[in-house]
Structure 1
Amino acid sequence: MINGHILVADDDTAIRTVVSQALSRAGYDVRTTATAASLWRWVQAGDGDLVITDVVMPDENAFELLPRIKKLRPDLPIVVMSAQNTFMTAIKASERGAYDYLPKPFDLKELVAIVGRALSEPRNRLPAVKDPELEGMPLVGRSPAMQEIYRSLARLMRTDLTVMITGESGTGKELVARALHDYGKRKSGPFVAINMAAIPRDLIESELFGHEKGAFTGANTRSAGRFEQAEGGTLFLDEIGDMPMEAQTRLLRVLQQAEYTTVGGRTPIKTNVRIVAATNKDLRISIQQGLFREDLFFRLNVVPLRLPPLRERTEDIPDLTRHFFQLAATEGLPLKHMDAAAFDRLKRYRWPGNIRELENLTRRLTALYPHDLITAQLVEAELGMDQPSPASMSDAHAGSLPGKAMTVGDEGGLMGSVERHLADLFKQHGDHLPPPGLYHRVLRELEVPLVSAALAATRGNQIKAAELLGLNRNTLRKKVRELDIRLMRAPR
């Protein structure tokens, strides 16, 4: 039994062979070609229930062919394959009406599954779309982790779904939010960002919803809030985990009813914005701690996107570094290049500050060194300054840490401390499990010495300590205040 007729276009004989074999085993009738011209003739003749095509063909780029195919046969699903695994490749495939995009190399089982889904869905779901002018490269990286992000973003561009972006500080959450806006259906509207951690708690509601004249002391005129400023566009709520509970309640009401009132106002105002939220916290833990509303979490977490830390995508470091060098050159700094050994050294670094730290490093290398070629020695000199060794952290904070130096992986260090703590707890409770909340108790006991050690190692410099810990500076400042940590003053 034939499940469908598939047209495959790729100038690589090996690709055509393995794709044809995999689809034939799955029960499909497959025709293959090495040229875009042959594919176009077949489509014109009405052949095929689905097209699989590479982007770069010897006679024509598939992105030039796709609009003609969609105009002639708008219901024909097209799966695009490409070795040019960039964000713009995924976006171009989506904007030109492709059903899905697969970066090479890909899993044959996944390809077969995509074909099955495409042929089983209603054919009228794929509208023909215009070819927009796409410029720049908002996101950089070809790693498998970033390919998944690109594919998810491409699917979200034509929707207004609420998106929750999670990831460590410095992973590029606002860049992703801006890409969703700039290449989405609301791109003609405003993009408005607000960082919850950077605004005093008593001003957040006014910042979000605006206030009327005389609403509170100092409110001498009416002020528009971020919802009003973002009308028709996208509102990016950064560090949403730092939003106070009373503001969470008002935000939930807005999401449920699509209207709000200003501070001091009485008349409800209708709102039409797309919400994109971001956090570097685990909001499920915040919910357990009573710090975040569970119903608001489910309203915001419609489409979750996790951005990988740089240590999980080290293969992207060369592309990112070259990108940052080029950005620096557009600002008037000399264009630098990096040798292979330097790239290898960058890949071995842990990057607690993620992409933001890498960008800062490349700018520093560009500004401080006259060399056109950045070597491993220069990189080592800068990374050695940025990353204190465990021993130096211990020496800088002598007497304030329990036991030995706080290192990961040795019996007397951080992991050993955790293991001893757990062993003592179980010993205290005999054959029974300790009471619930173990994670948070251990975290509280380790957080104070860890933050204190980072501050000591940087001689009280909160900016450097935040980079070392991989935290936002405002988040670190908040922790210092909440944990009542005594700040070390640098000697004069």
Structure 2
Amino acid sequence: MHKLLIVEDTDSLRDVLATVLEQEGFLVDAAASAEESLPLLKSNSYDCILADFKLPEMNGLELLKELRNNGSEVPYIIMTAYGSIELAVDAMKSGANDFISKPFESKFLCANIKDVIAHNRIINREPIQLTSESPSIETKDPEFLKILSQAKKVAQVDSTVLLLGESGTGKELTARFIHEHSKRKDEPFVAINCAAIPSELLESELFGHSKGSFTGATQDRKGLFEYASKGTIFLDEIGDMPTLLQVKLLRALQEGEIRRIGSNTPVKVNPRIIAATHKDLEDCIATGHMREDFYYRIAVISFQLPPLRKRPDDIEMLTRHFIDYFARKNGRPAPKISKDAMDFLRRHPLPGNTRELENVIQRAVILSDDLIEIEHLGLGLDIHFDTINEARITLPAIAEQAVRKAEIDLIMQTLRQTMGNKSKAAKLLGVSYKTLLNKVKEYQLSL
């Protein structure tokens, strides 16, 4: 559960904001001034700060500058009724993550806060802390078991590893598996999605930057290569990395040193690199989207992870695992699953693989009573007459499922096109921002 700090001097607005955000599932602390917020900031860790610009003494922008000067990188949103381009630019230069003009709708505010927190967590800089609830690889598939056996051997050396496979096949879990079986297991494991971050920011995240090297660089900052120099860096969606950055990364891997943006001082680094992609990298090379020398550098050892549809025994095992997990999480007895529903899952292509199956079962556990049936799965249907006959699906139901699948595919494609920006996506889709948010919530979509 995310924890927020509201800094707002108007009592009524502060109370309303706290109530709305608590109803959205946030933990909320509130302060009436910047000065009142400082002790809270010292004694608590927050996922986001929502601060008014106009405060009694120190204003919201001055509070932001003080936090950034003290090394805090907590996401920060400034609210103001005095919105102007100059103020917005000043806020962003000082390190604000977003700038909101009053008045605003509560749903818009909640969506912005969630987006800011999600963007801040695209990069996981925290060492992994495994618990009994931590996700792990579960498989009975002979091919996957063979890959894991080979991965254990690979873990003992520091060669770069390339994991290939469709989205949701377990590439990050396999990368963590390699890390956990290596001599680096007590050092940081950090993951970064190369497709989710603009190239300029991606270079800064990998190599760090010096204070003043670009607008918003208010302090020196280590990159992931320094942070995880003794650990493992997982570069997801490496096929989307810009070619110019591929050159810099190739040099870093070959020379074992990096230079922060804005600095000429070399820094020695030695992280273990594991890369992954769902793309055909040979096609990327042919089209000029990937350098051949970079490909051979990251593909010293490669594994092709099989999709879930080719692991039918795993579908049943994972389904029962997710049923137990989500039932326990929701504090209810685990429902059973009908033979028709299980057979349907085994026949379904599951293009999203394990990630899709997990979402499907979470939905089914919520909607079902004692028994999960086909209608609880909410899956789009491939229209084959044998499947229609066996599953006893009506024509209106098929039409409804087809519309659902088309909407999901189009929304996800547009969100990827806009890098997750829902306002831009809504405009491209020709719907209101509110309608898009409702669809995202209804279909439980996430990038």
Match for 2:137 among 121, 139, 145?
139
Separation in structure 2 between the aligned mates of residue 352 and residue 381 of structure 1, nearest angstrom: 18
CA–CA distance in 1 between the matches of 2:337 and 2:192?
Answer: 36
Tell whether 2:403 aligns with 1:462: no
Q: SS in structure 1 opposite 2:284?
A: helix
* Matches for 1:51-62 after TM superposition, within 5 Å: none
Pair 1:489 & 2:430 matched = yes
C-alpha change, 1:211 and 1:166, in structure 2 (3 Å) is same
Give distance in 2, aligned partners of 1:346 and 1:240: 31
Q: 2:174 aligns with which of 173, 176, 181?
A: 176
Q: Deviations over 1:159-190 (max 9, x none)?
A: 22211001111111111111111222111000
> What's the counterpart of residue 299 of structure 2?
301
The CA deviation string for residues 30-77 of structure 1, in whole angstroms up to 9 with x for no partner, is: xxxxxxxxxxxxxxxxxxxxxxxxxxxxxxxxxxxxxxxxxxxxxxxx
Shift of 1:292: 0.6
AA aligned opposite 2:239: G
CA contact (8 A) 2:361 2:377 kept: no
Which residue, 238, 241, 266 being the options, matches 2:239?
Answer: 241
**Relative to structure 1, is the Cα distance of residues 352 and 477 closer, same or farther in structure 2, using a 3 angstrom cutoff?**
farther
Q: Offset at 1:226?
A: 1.1
Look up the match of 1:354: 353
- For 1:187, what is the secondary structure of its paired residue? coil
2:255 is equivalent to residue 260 of structure 1: no
2:312 aligned partner, one-letter code? T
Distance (whole Å) between structure 1 residues aligned to residue 328 and residue 221 of structure 2: 37
Deviations 1:438-484 (A, max 9, x none): xxxxxxxxxxxxxxx99992178523x68xxxxxx63x55799xxx9
* Residue 342 in structure 1 maps to residue 341 in structure 2: yes
CA shift, 1:382, in A, is 2.7
Counterpart check, 1:379 vs 2:320: no
1:275 aligns with 2:270: no
Q: Secondary structure at the match of 2:214?
A: coil
Give the 3 Å change call, closer, same or farther, for CA 366–454 of structure 1 in structure 2: closer
Residues 264 and 147 of structure 1: CA distance in aligned 2, closer, same or farther (over 3 Å)? same
Residue aligned with 2:167, SS: coil
Q: Quick one: distance in 1 between partners of 2:135 and 2:192? A: 24
* Separation in structure 1 between the aligned mates of residue 235 and residue 369 of structure 2, nearest angstrom: 41
The corresponding residue for 1:401 is none
Structure 2, unpaired ranges of 5+: 1-129, 386-401, 436-447
Once the two structures are superposed, the pairs formed by residues 85-164 of structure 1 within 5 Å of their partners are: 138-164=136-162
**Partners of 2:269 and 2:309 in 1: how far apart?**
40
Match in the other structure for 1:316: 314
CA deviation after TM superposition for structure 1 residue 338, in Å? 2.2
List per-residue Cα deviations over 1:330-382 (Å, max 9, x = no partner). Answer: 423422332433221110101111111100011001112222x32xxx22453
Letter of the structure 2 residue corresponding to residue 306 of structure 1: Q
- 2:374 maps to a residue whose letter is V
Deviations 1:187-223 (A, max 9, x none): 1000001101110122111111000001111211111
CA contact 2:135–2:173 (8 Å) conserved in 1 = no
Residues 294, 352 of structure 1: alpha-carbon distance in 2 compared, 3 angstrom cutoff: same
Measured in 1, the distance between the counterparts of 2:159 and 2:411 equals: 37
Q: Counterparts of 1:166 and 1:234 in 2: how far apart (Å)?
A: 18
Distance 1:326 1:460 in 2: 29
SS at match of 2:162: strand
* Number of aligned residue pairs: 282
**Amino acid in the other structure paired with 1:457:** A
Q: Secondary structure at the match of 2:245?
A: helix
CA apart distance, 1:137: 7.0
TM-score of the two chains, using structure 2 as the length reference: 0.58
CA distance in 2, matches of 1:390, 1:205: 47
Could you tell me which runs of 5 or more consecutive residues in structure 1 were left unpaired when the two chains were aligned: 1-132, 392-452, 467-472
Equivalences for residues 33-52 of structure 1 within 5 A: none
- What secondary structure is seen at the aligned counterpart in 1 of 2:377? helix
Give 1:315 shift.
Answer: 1.7
Whether contact under 8 Å (1:459, 1:490) holds in the other structure is no
CA drift of 1:148 comes to 1.9
SS of equivalent to 2:234:
strand
Aligned equivalents of 1:213, 1:193: Cα separation in 2: 24
CA 1:390–1:462: 2 relative to 1, 3 Å: farther
Distance change (3 Å), C-alpha of 1:338 and 1:143? same
Distance (whole Å) between structure 2 residues aligned to residue 389 and residue 165 of structure 1: 32
> How do 1:163-242 residues align onto structure 2 when only pairs under 5 Å count?
163-242=161-240
**2:196 and 2:419 in contact (8 A); partners too:** no
The letter of the residue matching 1:270 is K
Structure with max Cα Rg: 1
Question: For residues 164 and 175 of structure 2, what CA distance do their matches in structure 1 show?
Answer: 11
Question: Against the structure 1 CA distance between its residues 383 and 232, is the aligned structure 2 distance closer, same or farther, given a 3 Å change threshold?
Answer: same
Q: Alpha-carbon deviations, 1:200-250, whole Å to 9, x = none?
A: 122111111000001111211111111112121100000001111111110
1:368 aligns with 2:317: no
Change (3 A) 1:367 1:190: same
Residue type of the alignment partner of 2:204: S
Looking at structure 2, the residues matched to 479 and 363 of structure 1 have their Cα atoms a distance apart, in angstroms, of 23
| Deviation string, structure 1 residues 269-306 (Cα, Å, up to 9, x no partner) | 11121000000101111111111111110010011011
For normalisation by structure 1, the TM-score amounts to 0.53
In structure 2, distance between residues paired with 1:388 and 1:339: 20
Q: How many Å apart are 1:489 and its aligned residue?
A: 3.1
Shift of 1:314: 1.6
Aligned to 1:251: 249
Structure 2 counterpart of 1:489, one-letter code? G
- Give the partner amino acid of 2:377: E
Q: Secondary structure at the match of 1:197?
A: coil
Q: Match of 2:341, as an amino acid? A: A
* In 1, Cα distance between equivalents of 2:408 and 2:274: 37
CA RMSD of aligned residues (A): 3.1
Q: What are the within-5 Å matches in structure 2 for residues 410-449 of structure 1? A: none
